Amino acid sequence: MKFSTGDCPTKVREKFESFGQEDIFRFWETLSGSEKDHLINQLISIDLGECSRALDDIARPMNANGQISPPSGVIKRDQSGADMADYNQLGEELLSQGKVAAFTVAGGQGSRLGHDGPKGTFACGPITENTLFQHFAESLIFYSKKFSISPLWLVMTSPSNHSQTCEYFKKSNFFGLPKNRVKIFSQGTLPVFNEKGKFILESKFKIATSPNGHGGSLQALEVSGCLELMKEEGVDFLSYFQVDNPLVYCLDPTFIGLHASQNADMSSKAVSKENAEEKVGIFIEESERLRVLEYSDLPNNLINAKDKNGFLKFDLGNIAIHMFSRDFIEKLTRALPQSKRLPYHAAHKKVPYLDEKGRLRAPNQPNGIKAEMFVFDALPLAQNNQILKVSRSEEFAPIKNAFGADSIKSSIKLQLARSQVWQGAVGGTRLKGDVEISPLYAPTQAYFIEEYTRGTSFNLKKTNKGTLWRPTP
């Protein structure tokens, strides 16, 4: 839509000035026709109602207010009993019926890892150097073959990496998956605010924006049409995970079955915290509702609190792996009033900005507020929540940092250690040296034991980095 001739459309200008954003027009008279078009079209795309809700939310503290206690009724994966076998059987039945889709949240860039591109294109395989996207794709190929049905794979990007991600999948020929089973879509954005609630200009004709957080993934499912697609295909459940964890079980029958059997709206996986200072969100119960508190929102007396046995009282760490029922997501995105949807949190960041004279400035201190929703804030709105406690060495090896904890080095170490555990679980002789077990052979320990026990043939490819355990072609 072109507005380059004449003045700024009156209704647009009045709308934003009445919202206190008159400063975004201060360079209007100096703009070229195409620059005016760009600014106005951006303004038309901004939802001021959502901006108002975000500003209201970030002005309120998010600390817990009610009676806090550790979650009750936590299920442990390694606990014995017929229930676990029943959960697994139900999960496999749902997978064979095409009732479950995989959902990867992949909006991040790999800049913190020294990688030029989307984080999903970062190499994570110890031997293969396969990327995160390929690693997950091969896991889904396993399920496609096992259950004779190709599960839907939903991949959420951000505006900064969407085109690169789409191009990568096309160039990789979708890793052998049917193209129509992979749906890639971008999450929403909001303007970046300064401390006074004003939009920050990154140029004379462009407002700085940022993705609306992983909580925005639920709304993005609705806007992209993926929720409707799930309904059309009879997909009732969604397996949510973030792109940076190569140990994740993309589709976990036991977790799926637990969630479905309890008619849960939302279920979560958790691990024991390594120590009190570990910077992960913590599962708690507050006024009988399950929720996650960020580590920064817990006072020291609760962070270090011990139970009667001397263990951490609040030790259930959130690892961003969830199961959702489709009808619950529909409720959150369609039926609930704005006031009851996921709240926004403030992320204070250093954001380049234009000063009053139109000069681009790089601040030394955080000057911008990025409003973000967290997906775990859906927990208090959900019914029949379930928590499955799993082993972190089995299912959690995130790649977030270039060095130190949660780096590629630490993740590879954990991946290799897990492969040794899997080999030991089948009673065979462990291979010497580093071994990477391809998800094409088995994406979970239970399936590795099953495939090995039934005699599924495999090929051992030796390289200078180690050995790749993969299915025989």
Indicate whether 123 belongs to any domain: yes
Which of 392, 447, 390 shows the shortest CA–CA distance to 140? 447
Indicate whether 382 belongs to any domain: yes
Q: How far apart are CA 334 and CA 356, in angstroms?
A: 41
Q: Which of 377, 404, 431 is the last residue of a domain?
A: 404
pLDDT at 456: 96
Rounded to the nearest angstrom, the gap between the alpha carbon of residue 26 and the centroid of all alpha carbons in its chain is 38
Rounded to the nearest angstrom, the gap between the alpha carbon of residue 423 and the centroid of all alpha carbons in its chain is 30
Same-domain check for residues 296 and 336:
yes
Query: Do 222 and 204 meet the contact criterion of CB atoms below 8 Å apart?
Result: no
Q: How far apart are CA 100 and CA 152, in angstroms?
A: 8
Same-domain check for residues 186 and 90:
yes
157 CB contacts (<8 Å, ≥6 apart)? 106, 107, 118, 165, 166, 184, 185, 186, 187
End-to-end Cα separation, the chain, in angstroms: 54
Indicate whether 433 belongs to any domain: no
75 SS3 class? strand
359 CB contacts (<8 Å, ≥6 apart)? none
Structure tokens at 163: 């085109």
Q: How far apart are CA 329 and CA 197, in angstroms?
A: 30
Same-domain check for residues 234 and 342:
yes
Same-domain check for residues 292 and 323:
yes
Same-domain check for residues 364 and 249:
yes
Query: Do 442 and 409 meet the contact criterion of CB atoms below 8 Å apart?
Result: no
Same-domain check for residues 243 and 279:
yes
Same-domain check for residues 115 and 40:
no
Q: How far apart are CA 367 and CA 193, in angstroms?
A: 9
Residue 166's domain is classified under what CATH number? 3.90.550.10
Indicate whether 124 belongs to any domain: yes
Please give the single-letter amino acid code of residue 96: S
Indicate whether 39 belongs to any domain: yes
Reported for 419-422, long-range contacts at CB under 8 A and 24+ positions apart, including other chains, are 419/469, 421/393, 421/394, 421/445, 422/448, 422/449
Element (H, E) at 353: strand 353-354
229 SS3 class? helix
Place of tokens 């259930």: 316
- The tally of domains found in the chain comes to 2
Please give the single-letter amino acid code of residue 141: I
Max CA separation in the chain (angstroms): 79
pLDDT at 120: 98
433 φψ region: left (φ > 0), alpha (ψ -120 to 50), beta (else): left
Same-domain check for residues 25 and 153:
no
pLDDT at 20: 95
> Within the chain, which residues score under 70 in pLDDT?
1-8, 61-66, 80-81, 335-340
186 SS3 class? strand
Rg (CA), the chain: 24
pLDDT at 299: 76
Q: How far apart are CA 212 and CA 319, in angstroms?
A: 20
Enclosing domain of residue 16: 10-45
Query: Do 23 and 17 meet the contact criterion of CB atoms below 8 Å apart?
Result: no
Indicate whether 430 belongs to any domain: no
296 SS3 class? helix
Which of 313, 317, 287 shows the shortest CA–CA distance to 300? 313
β-partners of residue 267 are 323, 386
Q: Which of 404, 422, 447 is the last residue of a domain?
A: 404
Element (H, E) at 327: helix 326-330
Query: Do 223 and 382 meet the contact criterion of CB atoms below 8 Å apart?
Result: no
Place of tokens 């020294």: 114
Q: Which of 347, 373, 404 is the last residue of a domain?
A: 404
Structure tokens at 332: 């959150």
Indicate whether 446 belongs to any domain: no
pLDDT at 340: 67
For CA atoms 355, 360, 365, 370, give the dihedral sign. Answer: positive
Same-domain check for residues 192 and 264:
yes
pLDDT at 4: 46
Same-domain check for residues 227 and 321:
yes
State phi, psi for 469 to the nearest 5 degrees.
-95, 115
Indicate whether 426 belongs to any domain: no
